[in-house]
Structure 1
Amino acid sequence: MNKVDYDRALYYTHRSEWDNLLILMVRTQDQFLSKKIEQFLHAYNFEHDYSVIEKKLYSLLRYIDHANELMEHEPCEIPMFSLS
């Protein structure tokens, strides 16, 4: 899993950058994130009932939050910085 993907998904969703969110959906290695993005974008473009769009958006945001929490508890493989 790549934490940057979740940060990007959150940023693109917040800024309503649907084209970038679609590109992220295709490029991410996380299949669950890809599916959540796909479901949200499909609802956003084709659904007439706002409550369905809202439900899919909250589902995507909950998954991003869940994945970020999991990433905090995993040790980093690559250090963010080096003191040497």
Structure 2
Amino acid sequence: MTASLFSEATTWLELRNGLVAQGLDLKFEAGRLILVETSFGTKICSCRYLGYSLAVLSRRLGRLRLRASGSDDFQITNWS
């Protein structure tokens, strides 16, 4: 279940691997961490909507490094 991945992951990599196994991934867009479906890239919701804002996750999992990839988009560069 996706909710348990967010609450139980101890690293960004663990969270991402669990999401990818369910056909999901994370994307950073316009200052928000977004949950997306990987087959079509459909945005599902922000992680804040699920109760796991970037600030909350960063306190537990560490700072997420980003690289600019467009005007409002960023690629996540460290999953460790």
What is the TM-score when the length of structure 2 is the normalising length?
0.33
Higher share of residues assigned strand: 2
